[in-house]
Each structure stands twice: as C-alpha cells, then as structure tokens.
Amino acid sequence: MPCNNISSGATYLGDGFCFFRVWAPRSEKVAVHLLTPQERLIPLQRAERGYHCGKAAGVEPGSLYYYLLDGKKERPDPASRYQPEGVHGPSQVLGRCNFAWTDHGWRGLSLKELIFYEIHVGTFTPQGTFDAIIPRLESIRELGATAIELMPVAQFPGRRNWGYDGVYPFAVQNSYGGPDGLKRLADACHRHGLALFLDVVYNHLGPEGNYLRDFGPYFTDRYRTPWGEAVNFDGPGSNEVRQFFIENALYWLTEYHLDGLRLDAVHAITDKSALPFLEELADAVHRQANELGRRIYLIAESDLNDPRLIWPRERGGLGLDGQWSDDFHHALHSLLTGEKNGYYQDFGTVEHLAGAFREGYVYTGQYSAYRQRRHGKTPGPAGACRFVVFIQNHDQVGNRAGGERLSSLVDFDRLKLAAGTLLLSPFLPLIFMGEEYAETSPFLYFTSHSDPELANSLHEWRKKEFAAFRWSVQVPDPQDETTFLRSCLHYELHREGRHSVLRDFYRELIRLRREIPALSELSRENLQAGACNREQALLVR
C-alpha cells in the first residue's frame, strides 16, 4: 500500500493488519513500539518527504503503541486516534468503524437554518460526557436551536480544560467518553434533526503533552502567537503540516459525521503562501461534502474583520462559509452593561450596534482606540448568513476575571432585549449553554495541567491579559478544581420561575425568526438600520 494513499496515524485494515504512517522528517528510522497485545518493535519504511510507513500483522484494535524515533525517543502518535491514558500515555489503535449509525438519511441543514447552541462537554452536565448530553437534545431542539457546537474535544492534559490546550488533534478526549461517545452524540443529534459542529484549533497546540516538534517542523519561529509557537503553514515542510490538519478536518467530518467545524482564532495563523492553508482547507472540505452528499460548513473565528475569509475564491477570497462577529457582541454588550474597559472602549453607542446590523462588522476601516490603528474592511457582497453572532459565548463570558454571564451583569429586561436583538438579527445566532434560561453559575477559565510551574505561569499570563480591563474581581486559580465545579451548569433551573420565563421568550423569538419571512430571509441588502441616540433606540427594518 503506497504511503500517500492513506492518512496519517494507525489505520486498522482488519484481520490483525494495521497500517502505520507518520511524518517524521527529522528521523532516519522510525519504529512502532507495540505495547499490547504483545510487546514488540515494528520498523517502518522511510518514504518520500519524510513519511515513514508500513503494514504490520498481529495488531488488534485496542493495541497500545508509541513511535520510537531513531531508536531513542518514544513518543505517542501525533495523529493518535485515542489516548486512553492521556496526553503522555501510549496511543491506541482503533478498529474499523463498526458503529451502528442510524443517520443514513441525514443531509445536513442549510446555512440559513443554523442556530447554534454552544456546549462545553465537561461542564454542561454533571457527568461531563458526550452521553450525558444526549438526554438534553430534546429540550435543545424544543428551544429551537438547530445545531450543537462543541468546544474542542481533542485530547488535552488532565480532565478539566476548555479544550484549547489540545495536543492530539485526532483523538477524542478520554474523559469525555472517547471516540464512541462522540459518535453516539452525533448520531443522536441527527436523530433529533440537529447538526453537530466541532471547534477545532489549528493555530497552536497546547503547552503540555505536545510532542510534535520531535517529529518534524510543525512549528516555526518566524511568527508568534499569544499561546505559543506558531504552526508552520508556509515554510519548509508546510505541505505535510497542512496535510495533517486537512486530514484532521476530513476525519472529523467523515468518521464522526460532523456537520461543520468552527476554526479557532484563524487570525493567529500566519501564512504568506500564494495558496493559503485556509483556502486549501475549505476547498478540501467542500469537495468532501460533495462526495458525502451532505451540507458541511467551515466557520472561522477571526479578529481581523477581513471579509477575504468569506469571499468566494473567484473574488480572491478563501471561500470559508462564515465567521464569527465579535463586533456584534461588543456593541451590544457595552450598550447593555455600560462597560467601557478593554476592547469595549471601542463601542458603547447605538450607532455601533446599527453598524453591526448593516455590515456584520462594526469596524470596517475606522480607527480603533483599543487597537491603536484602523481596523477591518467592509464585507461587500458577503450575505448576512456568513456571520455568526452572539450575546454570550465561552470567550466573552469566560475571559472575564469573574466569568460572569450576562445574567449577573444586567437586569431581566435587558436580558430579554439582548435576546431579541440576537435572535431577530439577520445573522446566524449562537447561544452559549445556559444563556437561554439565565444560568446562575459563572463560566470560569479552568485547567488541569500536571506541571505546576506551567500552570502557574499561565495563570500569571492570564492575569496580565486582564490588566486592560481593570476588573476588581480576583482571578480564580484555573488549576483549582473548585473553579471548574463552580462553572458547571444547573440545567434543571430552566424549568423554574424567571429562568423558564426567559427560556420561553427565547423559544418564542426563535419561532418568530423561523416563521416570519422578513426574518428568516437573512438579508443585509433589504435591511436598514439606524440609531436614535437620544432614545437609545435601534431601528431596523
């Protein structure tokens, strides 16, 4: 079997045969060190461009292995499908898919139908697993959301993490229920008519358990990110790095039947290639969607207000399907709360919000005092359904010193006003788990790194990041389990008192959005938005 016809990682072929493929251009010799069922070394052949591969007999699903690099370093598989013992442990061979999928008729949803419900698996339920989400799908569907969006589930260190410290892009977090758990959730979502999106992180890897640099030039020092080494998307070896992440995207969409990916912080991807990684990724994903006969979307988080992301390739764009609009959030949040610290200093008038309604972004080239430069560009022909908007999300809640949800910052009337602004907007709304019933718990930043020094330095960095906001609250220790436990939802609240009133209000707004043609059309062209500053009123028609 030629090395380039099969994706990286351990691919089980049946009958005890397994194909291993790893990109390790820095190693002359790579062997698989099989730990189970019987310990032995399986040397791989060196193939073109730094790949090493080989077909081995006597390997069963469930076998544990490391790669042995040049007879010296033992490392888990960068493309490991499962890390049952966590980020430092061996990788596991998965069997061929024998999951009993029931979603054969599922073709996905149209972009316009999408109403996201963002979930952090660990805190959404007491169990913190994929399986525990399934019984709640009915109520999410009943609320009117049409898509679940999971925060990242790629294997991260420990059991408590937002997911952005993942270091095995292909491996489903062991403590969430592993690969089969995610498949059961995807299948159940589709049974309920819900799409399932996943947040994936291609701009950096977490600081603990990242062994990729022992294999090859996955990273570069030519650029920096706030979270560590920048991924090498345009230097020597970058085709293989791209291939790794493109295979990753296709893997989630195909193996787990996912309906789309949210690409974390693409502004932290620096890539000067004539064919940028994101363009190549979008092309590969859309071709795969065609082959699968399903509607699949790539939606980027971006801080650039750059419509190039969502413009079609014929117009010089990268061809992604949509992007998050932080500006919409900031405009509404600063209006509702009166906050003017940190990046909120760029917002605070009704006209800002009107701008967000007209353009998707507020900043389309104006000077930003926070950024100390002009920011953004008008999105031109990009339609309203290219923008995902929110009044809360994991970042906007969790990146506050106290992790306060909007419900603990403003009164009930304002919560309703916010909901109306969100759900009657022409954009694709995203609801952060618990938002719809004014959940009382905060959503704090939590980790469970095993290296105390690392944990401490990250905590200090975070405190520094918050300095611009001058929050009076103390930043809780992310490593403290209490910080995690405080962030867990009290989902049953949604049936009680004013919690249930708010939830009913959300449901009613979503119904209106769906049923009134002027709302369901999601048009920016036919929309006029203006601000009456004296009355603090936003007029949209």
By annotation, the residues acting in catalysis are: 264, 301
Contact of 446 with 477, CB cutoff 8 Å = no
Spatial distance between the Cα atoms of 327 and 248, rounded to a whole number of angstroms: 30
Site for a second copy in 57-116 (CB under 8 A): none
Site for a second copy in 275-294 (CB under 8 A): 275
Between 97 and 275, name the residue whose CB sits nearer to a second copy.
275
Between 375 and 499, name the residue whose CB sits nearer to a second copy.
375
Between 222 and 511, name the residue whose CB sits nearer to a second copy.
222
Contact status: 223 vs a second copy (CB under 8 A): yes
Q: Which of 317, 342, 403, 478 binds a second copy (CB under 8 A)?
A: 317
* Other C-beta atoms lying within 10 Å of the C-beta of residue 146: 22
Letter string b/e over residues 51-78, b meaning 16 or more CB atoms within 10 A of that residue's CB: bbbbbbeebeeebbbbbbbeeeeebbbb
Between 134 and 241, name the residue whose CB sits nearer to a second copy.
241
Contact status: 224 vs a second copy (CB under 8 A): yes
Site for a second copy in 16-45 (CB under 8 A): none
Nearest to 527 by CA among 428, 426, 382, 427: 426
Min dist. Cβ of residue 221 to a second copy (A): 8
SS3 412: helix
Contact status: 238 vs a second copy (CB under 8 A): yes
What are residue 300's DSSP bridge partners? 263, 323
Contact of 200 with 169, CB cutoff 8 Å = yes
Per-residue binding string, a second copy, 183-222, x by CB under 8 A, is --------------------------------------xx
Contact status: 342 vs a second copy (CB under 8 A): no
Q: Which of 237, 402, 420, 530 binds a second copy (CB under 8 A)?
A: 237
Q: Which of 149, 306, 327, 395 binds a second copy (CB under 8 A)?
A: 306
Q: Dump strand ranges (E) for 7-115.
A: 9-14, 17-23, 30-34, 40-43, 45-46, 51-56, 64-69, 73-75, 91-92
Give the burial class of 367: count Cβ atoms within 10 A of its Cβ; 0-12 exposed, 13-18 middle, 19 or more buried: exposed
Spatial distance between the Cα atoms of 398 and 445, rounded to a whole number of angstroms: 6
Size of the site for a second copy (CB under 8 A): 34
Contact status: 472 vs a second copy (CB under 8 A): no
Between 268 and 538, name the residue whose CB sits nearer to a second copy.
268
Spatial distance between the Cα atoms of 350 and 360, rounded to a whole number of angstroms: 15
DSSP class of 467: G
Please tell me whether the peptide bond between 37 and the residue prior to it is cis, using omega within 30 degrees of 0: yes
Which tokens sit at 134? 């399934």
Min dist. Cβ of residue 23 to a second copy (A): 12
Min dist. Cβ of residue 25 to a second copy (A): 9
> Hey, what's the torsion of the CAs at 249, 250, 251, 256, to 10 degrees?
100
Min dist. Cβ of residue 377 to a second copy (A): 4
Q: Which of 165, 234, 326, 346 binds a second copy (CB under 8 A)?
A: 234
Site for a second copy in 373-412 (CB under 8 A): 373-377
Contact status: 316 vs a second copy (CB under 8 A): yes
Spatial distance between the Cα atoms of 306 and 380, rounded to a whole number of angstroms: 11
Per-residue binding string, a second copy, 248-277, x by CB under 8 A, is -------------------x--x-xxxx--
Contact status: 239 vs a second copy (CB under 8 A): yes
Q: What residues line the site for a second copy (CB under 8 A)?
A: 221-224, 234-239, 267, 270, 272-275, 304-308, 311, 315-317, 365, 367, 371-377
